Amino acid sequence: MDYVPHTPEDQKQMMKTVGISSIEELFADIPEKYRLKKLLDLPAPLTEQEVSGLMQSLSENNRLPTAMMLGAGAYHHFIPAIVGHLIGRSEFYTAYTPYQAEISQGILQAIYEYQTMIAHLTGTKVANASMYDGASAMAEAAVLACKTLQRKKIVVSKSVHPEYRQTIQTYAWSNGYEVVETGYQQDGTLDAAALKAAVDDQTAAVLVQSPNFFGIIEDIAAIESVVHAQGSLLVAGFTDATSLGLLKPAGEQGADMVVGEGQSFGNPLNFGGPYLGIFASNEKLMRKIPGRIVGATKDEDGTRGYVLTLQAREQHIRREKATSNICSNEALCMLAAAVYLVSLGKNLKTLAELNLNKAQYLKSKLLALPGWSEVFSGPTYNEFVVRTPNAHVVNEKLQAKGILGGYDLGRDYPDLKDCLVFCATEMLSRESIGAAIASLA
C-alpha cells in the first residue's frame, strides 16, 4: 500500500496542467543511462494487516527480561501513562522545528519550561532544547571548549562511560584534538592527582561523570579549582538522570557545562535510542552552546510569547562558523522528559531515594554471596560494582531465570575482570532480588 491520494483522473488533469504526457518527462534532466529501467529489488509491498503482523512477529523475536539489573547508560524506569498520551498528540509529533513562532507556541512554551526545569536540576543558568544523546552531548561540549579557548587538549576521566569516551575520541580525532585519559582511585572516584598532573594551559576541557560509570558519586567541587586554575572548562556528566533529584547539582559545584543522558525522564529503553542529550551551561557560555534555545519575549500588544533565540550560534545562520552542526534534535524525547518531570514534581527526590534504597539492598545481598566482594568504597546512587567469581557464569545463571544481570566491566577495563556494574531502580522488586540471589547461591 502507499499513501498517494491521486486518482488516475487527478493525475491526468495535473499532467495536463504541467504540460507533460508522461511522468517520465519530469525526470528528463537525469541522463538516460542512469534512469532505472526496472523496479528496485525489495520485498513485495504489504497491506496494513500484513505489515502489522510482520512487525508483531519481529518484536516477539526479542526476549524481554522478567527483571532488570542492568543500567550502564540506559535505565529502566516507570513511565506515567500521561507521558505517552500527551506526546502522542499529533499536533506535537507531526510538527517540524518551530521556525514559525506564531503557529508553534505550544512546543516553544514546552521547551522554555523544560529549559527552566533542567537549569534548576543541573544548577546552571541555561539549557538547550536537547542534543542527540548523552555521549554526543559530552563530545560536543568538549569540541565547544576547544573552539572557545583555542586549545587542543581534552582530559577525560576513565570512569566516564566507555562509549561516551569512544564518541569523544571520534569527535576529537576529526578535529585534530588530543584526548588524555586519567585513571580512578581505589574508592572508584577519579584520581584527582593524576587529573591535576594532566591539566595544563593547553587543556580546553576536563570531562567527568557523577555518578560515574561505576556508580560512584564524585566530589566535583574538589576538582573545580584544579581545572579553573589552568583556565580550562569543567564539563560534568551524569549517568542516570534521576540522580539529579538527590545529588548536588554539578553547576552548583563549579561545572561550566553539565551534560548527560536524559532518557530516564519518561523515555523507554528502545534498544538504545532515541534518547535525550541534556546540555546546560553557565551564563558565560550562553551565546556559544550548541542546539536550539527558546527565549520568552512579547508581541506588539505586550502578550508573552516564545521564540527560538540566540540563533547567531547556529548552522543555518553561521554556516561553517557555527559552534555545532546540529539541526534536528530530540524534541519529542524532550517533551516526554518535560511531562515526566512535571508529573513527578517534588517526588523526583522520593523516587531517587527509592532507587538508592533498592540498590543498597541489592548490593548487601550480592556481597553476602560467597566469593563476592566490593570493588570500590566510594558512595553510590543506584549502580555499583561487585567482583564476582566469574562474571560470565553469573550473568548466564541470571539469564536462565529471565533476569538481565550486570554490565561486564572486563570488556573495557582489563583490571576489572569479573567485575559487574549492577543497577537497581524502582522497577526492581524485593521478590526479583530474592529470585536472583537464589539462582546465584
Partner 1 sequence: MKLIFEKSQPGRQATTIPASDVPAVQASKAIPAHLLRDEVELPEVAEVDIVRHYTNLSRRNFGVDLGFYPLGSCTMKYNPKVNEEAAKLPGFTQQHPYAPAEWSQGSMQMMYELRQMLSEILGMKDFTLQPAAGAHGELTGVMMIKKYFDRLGQKRTKILIPDAAHGTNPASGALCGFQTVEVRSNAEGGVDLDHLRELMTEDVAGLMLTNPNTVGLFERNLEQVMEIVKSKGGIMYCDGANANAYIGTNRPGDLGFDVIQLNLHKTFSTPHGCGGPGSGPVGVSEKLVDFLPVPRVVKKGDAYEWEYDAPDSIGRVKAFYGNFNVMIKAYTYIRSLGAAGLKRASENAVLNANYIKEKLRDHYQLAFDRICMHEVVFSGEKQVKESGVHTADIAKRLLDYGVHPPTIYFPMIVPEAIMIEPNETESKETLDDFCEIMIKIAGEAKENPEMLHKAPLTMPVKRLDGVQAARQPDVCFSGGCC
Q: How far is CA 75 from the centre of its chain?
A: 11
For residue 349, give every residue at least 6 positions away whose Cβ sits within 8 Å of its Cβ, in sequence order, or none: 245, 246
Stretch 278-317: interaction string toward partner 1, x if CB under 8 A:
--------x-----xxxxxxxxxx-x-xxx-xxxx-xxxx
* 344 lines the binding site for partner 1 (CB under 8 A): yes
At 269, the amino acid letter reads: L
* 21 lines the binding site for partner 1 (CB under 8 A): no
CB of 415 vs partner 1, minimal distance in Å: 20
Q: How far is CA 416 from the centre of its chain?
A: 25
For residue 373, give every residue at least 6 positions away whose Cβ sits within 8 Å of its Cβ, in sequence order, or none: 367, 386, 387
* 225 lines the binding site for partner 1 (CB under 8 A): no
Distance separating alpha carbons of residues 105 and 110, to the nearest angstrom: 8
Site for partner 1 in 166-195 (CB under 8 A): 166-167, 169-171, 173-176
* 201 lines the binding site for partner 1 (CB under 8 A): no
Nearer to partner 1, 300 or 371 (CB): 300
Q: Which stretch binds partner 1 (CB under 8 A): 223-231, 233-241, 261-269, 369-377?
A: 261-269
Stretch 422-441: interaction string toward partner 1, x if CB under 8 A:
----x--xxx-x--------
Inter-CA distances, 352 with 220, 265, 332, 347, Å: 20, 12, 24, 8
* 237 lines the binding site for partner 1 (CB under 8 A): no
Site for partner 1 in 88-127 (CB under 8 A): 89-107, 109-110, 112-113, 115-117, 119-121, 125-127
* 209 lines the binding site for partner 1 (CB under 8 A): no
Contact between 195 and 157 (Cβ < 8 Å):
yes
Give the residue, chosen from 29, 150, 415, 438, that forms a contact with partner 1 under the rule CB under 8 A: 29
CB of 372 vs partner 1, minimal distance in Å: 18
Nearer to partner 1, 271 or 415 (CB): 271
State the CB neighbour count (10 A cutoff) for residue 125: 14
Residues constituting the chain:
441
Query: Rg of the Cα trace of the chain?
Result: 25
Pairing of strands 67-68, 403-404: parallel
Site for partner 1 in 359-388 (CB under 8 A): 360-361, 379-381
